[in-house]
A and B are shown apart, each in its own frame.
Chain A
Amino acid sequence: MNAAAVVQDLKAFLPELCLLGGAFLVLLVDLFVKNKKILPALALLALAAAAVPAIPFRGTQALFSGFFTLDAFTHFFRLLALGASAVWVILSAGYKPLQKQYEGEYYTLVLFMALALVLMAASTNLLMIFLSIEFVSILSYLLVGFEKKNSQSKEASVKYLLFGSVASALMLYGISLVFGATGSLELTAIPAKLDDPSFYGLTLTGSILLLAGLGFKISMAPFHLWAPDAYEGAPAPFTAFLTVAPKAIGFAVLMRVLTGAFHWFSFEWSPILMVLSILTMTIGNITAVAQTNVKRLLAYSSIGQAGYILMGLAAATPLGLTAVLYYLLAYAFTNLGVFAVAIVVGSGTGSYELESYRGLAKRAPVLSACMVVFLLSLAGIPPLAGFFAKLYVFSAVIENRYYLMAAAAAINSAVAAFYYLRIVRQMYLVPADETSRIWSCPVTRFTIFILLAGTIILGLVPAPFIDYFKALLPF
Chain B
Amino acid sequence: MQNHLLSWIVFTPLIGALAVVLTPKPETGRIKWIALAAAALTGVFTLAAFLRFDKALSGFQLVEKTLWIPPLNVHYFLGTDGISLPMIVLTALVSILACIASFGIKEREKEYYALFLLLETGMLGTFLALDLLVFYVFWEVVLIPMYFLIGIWGGARKEYAALKFFLYTLAGSLFMLIGILALYFKSMPHTFDLTQINPAAFTLKFQKALFFTFFLGFAVKVPIWPFHTWLPDAHVEAPTPISVILAGVLLKMGTYGFLRFSYPLAPDAAAKFAPFMAVLALIGIIYGGFVALAQKDFKKMVAYSSVSHMGFVILGLAALNSAGFSGAMLQMFNHGIITSGLFLLVGVLYDRAHTRDMTAFGGLAAQLPLYSGILIFFSMASLGLPGLAGFISEFLVLIGGFEYNRLAAGLASIGIFLAAAYLLLMVRRVLFGPANLKWQGLAEINRRELVTLVPLMILIVLFGIFPQLILDYMTPTLDSLLTHMEGIFA
Contacts and interface: CB of A to CB of B under 8 A. Distances in A.
Interface string B149-165: 00110000011001100
Interface stretch (A117-125, A165-173, A463-471): A463-471
Contacts of B163: 418, 421, 425
A446 B42 CA distance: 35
Given A376-B144, A383-B141, A394 B177 contact: yes
Nearest to A466: B71
A410 B147 contact: no
A198 to B, nearest CB: 39
A391 interface: yes
A429 B159 contact: yes
Nearest to A396: B181
B69 A463 contact: yes
Given A421-B166, A425-B151, A467 B178 contact: no
B158 A429 contact: yes
A403 B213 CA distance: 11
A406 B182 CA distance: 10
B43 to A, nearest CB: 25
Nearest to A398: B181
Interface in A386-424: 387, 391, 394-395, 398-399, 403, 406-407, 410-411, 413-414, 417-418, 421
A382 interface: yes
B184 interface: yes
A377 to B, nearest CB: 12
B140 A406 contact: no
Report, as a range, how many residues of chain A touch the other chain: 20 to 34
B218 interface: no
Contacts of A48: none
Contacts of B141: 382-383
A410 B158 CA distance: 26
Interface residues of B, number: 34
A191 interface: no
A410 B72 CA distance: 21
B136 interface: yes
Contacts of A361: 111
A387 B69 CA distance: 14
B178 A466 contact: no
Interface stretch (B98-106, B167-175, B397-405): B167-175
Contacts of B69: 462-463, 466
Nearest to B182: A398
Contact of B174 (A383, A403, A410, A428): A410
B71 A417 contact: no
A305 B141 CA distance: 22
A181 B162 CA distance: 58
A403 B68 CA distance: 27
Nearest to B171: A414
Interface in A202-251: none
Contact of B152 (A394, A410, A421, A429): A429
B185 interface: yes
A395 B158 contact: no
B137 interface: yes
Contacts of B111: 361
Contact of B178 (A383, A394, A414, A425): A394
Nearest to A462: B69
B413 to A, nearest CB: 38
Given A381-B143, A463-B69, A403 B178 contact: yes
B152 A466 contact: no
Contacts of B29: none
B181 A425 contact: no
Given A414-B170, A425-B163, A429-B162, A398 B178 contact: yes
Given A429-B159, A467-B71, A381 B174 contact: no
B70 interface: yes
A421 to B, nearest CB: 6
Interface in A419-475: 421, 425, 428-429, 462-463, 466-467, 470
Given A410-B178, A466-B69, A470-B71, A381 B171 contact: no
B148 interface: yes
A394 B181 contact: yes
B206 to A, nearest CB: 11
Contacts of A382: 136-137, 140-141
Interface string B127-149: 00000010011001101100110
A466 B167 contact: no
A407 B178 contact: yes
A78 B87 CA distance: 51
Interface string B451-478: 0000000000000000000000000000
A413 B174 contact: yes
Nearest to A459: B137
A413 B72 CA distance: 22
A414 B174 CA distance: 8
Nearest to A400: B185
Contacts of A391: 133, 177, 181
Which residue, of A382, A383, A407, A466, has the highest number of chain B Cβ atoms within 10 A? A382
B237 to A, nearest CB: 12
A403 B144 contact: no
A381 B139 CA distance: 10
Contacts of B133: 391
A395 B171 CA distance: 17
Contacts of B158: 429
B53 to A, nearest CB: 28
B283 to A, nearest CB: 25
Contact of A429 (B140, B144, B151): B151
A399 B147 CA distance: 33
A411 B72 CA distance: 24
Which residue, of A361, A417, A466, has the highest number of chain B Cβ atoms within 10 A? A417
B159 A463 contact: no
Contacts of B185: 395, 398-399
Nearest to A429: B151
A410 B143 contact: no
Which residue, of B141, B167, B175, B181, has the highest number of chain A Cβ atoms within 10 A? B181
B227 to A, nearest CB: 14
A406 B151 contact: no
Interface in A42-82: none
Contacts of A414: 167, 170-171, 174
B171 A411 contact: yes
Which residue, of B141, B143, B178, has the highest number of chain A Cβ atoms within 10 A? B178
A149 B71 CA distance: 52
A391 B167 CA distance: 18
A188 B71 CA distance: 29
Nearest to B178: A406
Contact of B151 (A381, A383, A428, A467): A428
Contacts of A413: 170, 174
A407 B177 contact: no
A382 B142 CA distance: 10
A395 B140 contact: no
A363 B68 CA distance: 38
B321 to A, nearest CB: 33
A396 to B, nearest CB: 9
Nearest to A407: B178
Contacts of A417: 166-167, 170
Given A394-B181, A414-B167, A428-B148, 12 more contacts: A381-B140, A381-B143, A394-B177, A395-B181, A413-B170, A414-B170, A418-B163, A428-B152, A429-B152, A462-B69, A462-B72, A470-B71
Interface of A: 361, 376, 381-383, 387, 391, 394-395, 398-399, 403, 406-407, 410-411, 413-414, 417-418, 421, 425, 428-429, 462-463, 466-467, 470
26 contacts: A382-B137, A383-B141, A387-B140, A395-B184, A398-B178, A398-B182, A399-B185, A403-B182, A403-B209, A410-B178, A411-B174, A414-B171, A417-B170, A421-B163, A425-B151, A425-B163, A428-B152, A429-B151, A429-B158, A429-B159, A429-B162, A462-B69, A463-B70, A466-B71, A467-B71, A470-B71
Which 5 residue pairs spanning A and B have beta carbons closest together? Answer: A410-B174, A414-B171, A382-B137, A466-B71, A398-B181
